[in-house]
Structure 1
Amino acid sequence: MSNPKVSIMITTRNRLSDLKRTCDVLTRLNPPPHEVLVTADGCTDGTVEYLKANHPDFRLTINQQGRGSVASRAAMMQQATGDLVLALDDDSYPEQLNCLDTLAQIFAKHPKLAIATFPQRTDEYPETLTQKDFGPSKPVRSFANSGACLRVSTYRSLPGFEPMFFHMYEEPDYAIQCIANDWQVYYFPEITIRHHYSPIRRNEVRNHHLHARNEFWSVIMRCPNPYCIPLALYRILSQARYALSRGPQWLIQEPKWWWQALIAFPQALKRRQALSWNGYRAWLKHP
């Protein structure tokens, strides 16, 4: 892939002040991106008006009713006309203004690379804000859509992000697909992401429930028989153990996500596209 075109995608919901800061950085990237795709997912805070007035060149998708970050990203991955897509959150952006050249070089050197993920300086973990050494490049089993680059041709050859997840866990689910099909998922420290990690629309218990539910559905969709059921049960117990570590108030709320998972179990089963055990196990063995 010579001189790949790099698109950028962002999904946002009612975090206009964060989005403005990110858009300002994107306009200063050199070279500029091939295109910027933004999905306003049920926004009611002036986001749409701001983008139309200040960034009319961005490809804007407006979801009047929120479809969730996963479905929004899945749609943009099909709409993108670039060879690569840099995925960001509305509160994250690359610190290196020449990062798109670096991305092109990384993917040119690694023809089997499906996903490149990068270290983040994030307010969620304040020690990273001054960290100087983020370690060497290495294979990984997941990534964060707040700062990762995806090869478009690979994405479109696989099931991709699962829209029924709504929010959370689309990254490891997609990484499973890539690794099981002999594609690489790698961490590269050449680019760093500044992630302000906005507290708006974040709820730890809710996110835990979404993560646990979607992890369970992912096992149902991807893990082959006869390993599917025992692994699904293990995931339930593992999430309960985590909830217990956060305190009794977390643990007594676990049935909420169990019920959500059960209600949509037939839909998850219908969308099942099981991978080979060798491929699935390769992902399990990844660091």
Structure 2
Amino acid sequence: MNNSQKKNLKTTKDKKKKKYRFKIRRLKKLFTLVVIVTAAVLFVRSSVFIVDNIKVTGNKKYQANEIILRSGLVTGQNVFKMLGEKPKNLLTLKFGDKEKAVSESMPYISSISIRPSLPKSIKIKVTERTPYCILDIKGTSLLIDKQGFALEVITNQNEKKKYIKIIGNSLDSFKLGQELKFKNKDTLSDLMIFCNALIKNDKDTKQKMYPRLTVVNMSDPGVITAVFENRVTVKFGDMDELDYKIGFLRNFFVNNINAKQKGTLDFTTGKYPFFAPAE
């Protein structure tokens, strides 16, 4: 065997040794990875992460135990095992499916976040909708918020008295927890403009008109007819000169009618408002 052949043989042996060492290193790395993953899985599934507390914040309408019950979450289970029931939950570290279950079944909840608070807690943070007014739909009193979401059907008469009632605008149908589709799309924006004008006009006076507002008729777009104290109907007409009209109304309530008098104050009949007492 000449020198060239010996050299080639040595090179071949060296290559085989390198390949062997490379395979050994890969096997060691793989084994280490398996050990680490196994240890991590055993650790996260251990008693260290058994949930012993579920805390709810931001709730007013609903009791904490109601929200927890709707979420389906319970103490005494491993938090990662509960997350792992839905792979997406495990990746995002939040209970997306539980959030959806709560928000779809509890109309007052506008947003919800359910996240683990490691090692042993789960935090549920909710934002609830604020009731604003009652929409009268063929004798059904539907409580809604300022964004037009349906909250609940009110049957108690004392509860009804707490809210402004909207009449004269209809819906095809409604579902609690969902945004209403008014036939007149400007219903809520017109109502907000009118109510905000009342509140602003009330700011520097003791004789507040907004708390006296009981019914608003929204049958004509951009035209407001309202009832105060369930006894005086006011035809404001369009939104022009609202400050003047509200100021006149306040002065009229204070100086021109008694606490029991009923009738209609009309700003639409001509240059000057006209009051027609009820018979």
Relative to its length, the structure with more strand (as a share) is 2
TM-score, L = length of structure 2: 0.22
Higher relative contact order (CA 8 A, sep 6+): 1
